[in-house]
Structures are given as structure tokens and as C-alpha cells.
Chain A
Amino acid sequence: MRKITLQLIVLFALVFNAGILGQSLPQSTGRNGIVATAHPLASAAAIEMLKSGGNAVDAAVAAAFTIGVVEPDGSGLGGGGGMVIYLKKEHKSYFINYYGRSSERASEASFKSGRDNYSGKAIEVPGTVAGLLMAHEKFGSLPLSKIMEPAVRHAEDGFPIDQTLAKLILDNIDNIMSDSVTASVFLENGFPRMEGELLLQSDLGKVLRTIAEKGRNGFYEGQLAESFVEGIRDRGGVLTEKDFSSYQAEITSPLNGTYRSYDILTSNIPQSGISLIQGLNMLENFDLQASGHYSESAKTLHIMAEVEKLVYADRYQFLGDPDFVSVPVAGLTSKDYALERYNSINQSKLDPPRYRDADYGNPGAFDKAFRKEPALVMEPAEGHTTHLSVIDKDGNAVALTQTLGLFFGSGQTVSGVLFNNAMTNFSYNVENVNYMQNGKRCRTSITPTIILKNGNPFLILGSPGASRITTTLIELVVNVIDFGMDVNEANLAPRFYCQKFEDYLHVESGINPEVCSELEKMGHQVKVYNGIDLFFGGAQMIFVDPITGEYSGSADKRRGGIAIGY
């Protein structure tokens, strides 16, 4: 009965609460602000901040703390992420990298991918709290207690489990059962909680209250940090109190690029905005409009798949923590290098016949600062995340992506916090740029992005989906810019995925079967997913009409999110 009552309250609040959403069903358009997240309660939290006079950063931070509660499989206090911020009045943009960092003693853990994915050994120092608080401190306007109130409320009062979360609990039962504390949250009598049941996270609520009261130090120092270190050590990890106290989020400029007449602001290295820019640079050499949409044109899809494959080959070869390795940023983002890579594509057939045999290029020839060329090793293809996009009435915008690593991270919960397993993102081949070293940031696929047209926000987007993130974003961008789709059409359009360390070209069934047949004749092995599939990510997008200035948002139906405007 309590479950049903709470569901009704939440539904009532979402639909009828004028203080949150206005007098009608949630809109996906607006002029005063819009937010797109993977959960209605996170979107509602952001809109609540905007309506209270907060700006896009206030709204994004509130949504980010809330999404960590109501979508606990994808992100949370124990994880990390990155955000791109655009401030309209100042015409300035920033990138905050708050991804985790390996312990100063990480090598002592002897982490082995696969064997240790769901243990304390897999945990990096979490960056979410530092990153969100840095954004709020530098750019926010509302009190922290106000911003964190929705997250605290949903943790302590509970919320109904939605179908996406119910499915993920079932799918990740091994991970959840690897830790009795985690199991006590998501299971009842040893079996998964189901859709509609109430999920209470009272211990997490206490941690959120501590952060709201004490700020960064409440999480990274003192009693709470001590309990984290002890609990992680009990689970095989090696994080130290110094790891926590010394952790700092980093603020820099975003990585800049252009696509046709648009400016791209995206996550800086070792996050993967660089791959988005490289892929779009390569596609600039191809007339997508003339060739037709990839769902109806085998040639377009073949070219895009080949571009994606080559981008991944370069990414695996060259992208690592710039504090540890030389990354040819100028080369990888060079238009000339992109043309060279594009020209290497055989336009009529798969060449070489296996994706795995694709070679990386030589961006160093286009980058005087680049120093060396290490060896190539793949990384895990799993990894699950969340993205949210926000814009306020003044045109300030935030694209934010955060993660726990795999779904439910390490599966290890200490003092209410479910910790990441970002150590799985490192390479364990000493020759690789992404080789695990103490105190290093791993390469990650996350790519929060803002695209400007004539200096104004045009598209705010990002997606979860591990190695599918880059391909999904490339497809979304061309759907809007080259094929003129609105954000909902672009988001719902069928997707595909291809990369170097794959044997199949993965496609959703919305791709014309004749296109798939043609692709197989060209040498691709096509794997079809019926309908739309969470495998291809869960993009949250906002579009700003350059003529009317109206905002429209789209939450990905693959993920169960919602865009709300007012």
C-alpha cells in the first residue's frame, strides 16, 4: 500500500505540481529553461532549481546529485564524470574533469580485469562530489543545501523503481550480490526488488546531508573518508585517506573543434571529446546529404562505420592521461590528418576485411609536440553511465556525463556510497598509453558536448554507453546538422556501432534490411537488434532554434528519461 501511495504522490507531483512543472504534462519545449536527464525525478529537481532563480549550473548540479540517487546503477557519489559549461554573457566555456584517479598505491592491489571487477580492488578515488561542488562554487548561485535537497529527499523517502532500474537489477544480479550491503539495498530476501517497489537509501541520504552541511571536506576528509578507506580495504582495495584528501577535480578549457559551420566544445583528454571531433572532421569530407541517411543508404553507413572504426583505432593507440603520456591532440584534431584518414577508406568494401586489422594512423606527423608511439591494446567494451543536458533562460548551458564504470560500479557499498570500478578502464599492458599507474586518470569514453552556432548554444548533448558513446554522438550530430532532424527524430533514429575491436557491425532494426544486405555484400558482418536498444546509449539532448530561440529537449526512449521545459 505504501508503495502505491508513494507512486501516486510522485506521479501527482510530476504531473500536477505547478511549482515544479507548470499546470500540464511535462513539456519538451520552453523559452525559460529546459533539462533532459535519464529520470523524471532528476529532471524535476533541475527545473525546481531554475524556477527558484538558479542558473543552468545550479540545475545541472541538482540533477546530477539526484540522478545518482534515482538511477543508482549509472552514477553516484562513488563515481566520476565530466561537464562542459558554457556561460552566455561572458562567452566563456569550461570543462571540469571529475573522473576518478587511481590510488597512490594502486599497483599494490594487483588488479586483474574480470577477476576483480566487483571488488574493492576495482575502485578509484571518486570524483563526483569534488566536481559537482567545484561547479557549484565557481558558477552556481543557489545555496548548496537547496541544491542537494531533492537528492536527500529521494534517498531518505525513497522512490518507485522504474522499469529500466528493475531490469538492470535483474541483469546485474551477480554484481549486486557480490557485497552484502549492496544486496541489502537492491534485494529483498535475496531476490531483486521489482518495478514499482520503493527503493530506500537512508545511509546514502546521511552522506548527502553531510556534504550539504560540510561541503567537500565532509566527504573527502574526516570520519566519512576514514570509513570509506576502511570499508574499501576490507573489500580488497588499497585506497588511502591521502588518496581521498588530495583528490582534486580539474577545471580547464573544453576541447574545441568545428564541424561544417558549427563550433564544438567537448570534454578534454583523457575523456573522449577528441574522438568526436576527429570523427566529425573526417565526415566533413563526405557529402552526407547527397548520399542519403545511413538508415537508407548502405554507402553512407559504410563510410560512417569506417570512420568510426578508424577513430577507435587512433583512440586506443594515442589517448591517455596527459600527465603521464604525450597525446597528439593537435594531430588528432587536425583537418589535414582527418582528410588523410578519410582518404584511406575504401568506399565500396570493407578493407581490411576484419575491423581488428585496421591500423592506427600517424597524427604525430601533424603535431610537433607529440613524442612517441606506444603499442595498441583494447579496453573493456562494457561501461555504463548517465548524461544530462541543461540550459537556462539566459542561455547558459551545461552538458554533464558521469559514471560508476560498469552498471552498479564495483558493487561495493561503504557507508551508503556505492563505489565505482573505474580501474577496469585502464590497460594492463605496460606498452599502452592507458597503462595503469599510481595516481593516474584512466581513458574514458564520456563525451559531454555543447555545439555552438554563431557563438550561441545550438545543441547540448551526451550519452552513456561505454565505447558506443562516440558513435552515438557522431550519429546524433549528423542527424541534426546534415539531415535536418529535430532532436526527437534524431534521438529516435536507428543507431549503429562499429569499432576496431569488434567483429560485428551492430545495427538497430530501423536500418533498412536492404541496407544491411548490401553492407554484408561489402564485407560487414551485421548484427541486428530488434527495435531500439539500451546497448546504443541513452542520449539526452537540447536543441536551441537559432531563429526563434526556443528550446526543445529530447530524452532517449532507450533509457526511460524525460526532457522538461518551461
Chain B
Amino acid sequence: MIVAILILFFTSLSVEAQKFKQPVLISSAGQSADVKLVKMLAQRQGLNATTILMAKSADLTGFKTLIIVPGFSSKGLGAAGISQQEEMERVKALIKSANDLKIPIVMIHIGGSARRQGQSDAFNQIVAENSKSMLVVKQGDEDGFFTTISKAKNIPLTLVVKIAETEIPLGNFFK
């Protein structure tokens, strides 16, 4: 707990978390089940949020913030009936549309080491680099993957120790 508080303290010192507006669209990049947990976190914080696992450009209408939860899952892709390549094309198109519409993207990476490297990192990278703020469970950044992107692109990064600890910073994004 102390470690978690310290991490939150120092990361909040290093960058000032940006504020975002509601309503919020939550989507996945890689179709992992992590997006369901972020949906739960958003509900706990009472956010006006809609979750569309395979959101497309047209789904952005009316939303003021896009939260993308990256993480590859072959099970999720199988359930969605799409290939990894098709998913990547969808994600790229969604990001481009959000940027064109000036809808800020928030990346939330909660899967820790289970959603790093392998097929996940291509999704992690493209979402992180295009985000306006990143909220990451620290285990997913043990090699500095997100920290490096944060510094290179000057994107605020908030690190927490446990998944449950993402709830408060998530809520603070919208206060």
C-alpha cells in the first residue's frame, strides 16, 4: 500500500494529469477481456461511459473522450471472428478518426506482464503513442516500455500497483 501511494505521489509530481470530458467511449485494442474490467472501474466511478468492444469510426459520434484498453487475446479475437491483422486495421482507423475529430484518447493498460510483449506490444505501442494520457498497472511497465513512450512523446503517465488502484486515477481524469 505504501509503495502504491508513493508511486501515485511521484508520478503525479512528474506530470500533471490531463482532464477529460464525458461521455466516454471505451473500446479494446486486441480484444482482451481487460476492457470488461475497465468498464467495471468506470461504472464504479459513475462515469457516463459506453463500451463497444470493436468500436469503429462511426461509433465515435457524440463522445468526448475515447478510452482504449490494449491487450492481445487470441480467445477474444476468436470470439469476435476476426484476425489480428483485421483488429489492428480497425484500431488504426479508430485512432485516426478520433484524432481527426479531436477526441482525446486515454490508454488504460491493466493486464500487467500478461499483456506485454508477444502480440500485445504492437497494440500497446500504437495506442500509447496516440494517447493524451496513460494509466498503467506498473507490472506492465517493468521494462520501462510505457515510461519511454511517455518521455519521448511527453504524454502524462500514471502508474499504479494493482488493477483496483486504477479506479481513483480514472475517476480523477474526469473531475
Mark each residue of chain A from 430 to 469: 1 if its CB lies under 8 Å from any CB of chain B, else 0. Answer: 0000000000000000000000000000000000000000
Q: How far is the CA of A209 from the CA of B113 in the complex (A)?
A: 34
Q: How far is the CA of A196 from the CA of B113 in the complex (A)?
A: 10
Within 8 A of B (CB), among A6-38: none
Are A194 and B73 also in contact (CB < 8 A) when A163-B113, A167-B114, A531-B118 are?
no
Mark each residue of chain B from 25 to 53: 1 if its CB lies under 8 Å from any CB of chain A, else 0. Answer: 00000001110110010000000000000
Residues of B within 8 A of A534 (CB): 74
Q: How far is the CA of A190 from the CA of B115 in the complex (A)?
A: 19
Complex partner residue of A171 from B33, B83, B84, CB under 8 angstroms: B33
Tally inter-chain residue pairs, CB-CB below 8 A. 67
CB distance B164 to A188 under 8 Å?
Answer: yes
Within 8 A of A (CB), among B84-140: 84-85, 111-115, 118-119, 137, 139
Within 8 A of B (CB), among A156-173: 163, 166-167, 170-173
Q: How far is the CA of A535 from the CA of B118 in the complex (A)?
A: 14
A530 interface residue (CB < 8 Å to B): yes
A216 interface residue (CB < 8 Å to B): no
Residues of A within 8 A of B118 (CB): 530-531
Q: How far is the CA of A172 from the CA of B74 in the complex (A)?
A: 12
CB distance A166 to B36 under 8 Å?
Answer: no
Nearest CB in chain A to that of B78: its residue: A535
B76 interface residue (CB < 8 Å to A): yes
CB distance B33 to A194 under 8 Å?
Answer: no
CB distance A173 to B84 under 8 Å?
Answer: no
Q: How far is the CA of A189 from the CA of B40 in the complex (A)?
A: 12
Which bucket holds chain B's interface residue count? 20 to 34
B163 interface residue (CB < 8 Å to A): yes
A339 interface residue (CB < 8 Å to B): no
A192 interface residue (CB < 8 Å to B): yes
B75 interface residue (CB < 8 Å to A): yes
B162 interface residue (CB < 8 Å to A): yes
Q: How far is the CB of B115 from chain A (nearest CB, A)?
A: 7
Complex partner residue of B76 from A171, A191, A192, A533, CB under 8 angstroms: A171
A174 interface residue (CB < 8 Å to B): yes
Nearest CB in chain B to that of A535: its residue: B74
Residues of A within 8 A of B139 (CB): 194-196
15 more A-B residue pairs beyond the given contacts A194-B112, A194-B139, A529-B119, with a C-beta to C-beta distance below 8 A: A167-B111, A171-B73, A172-B33, A173-B37, A174-B33, A174-B36, A188-B164, A190-B40, A194-B113, A194-B163, A528-B85, A529-B84, A530-B119, A533-B74, A533-B119
Closest 5 CB pairs of A and B: A167-B114, A191-B163, A166-B114, A191-B164, A189-B164
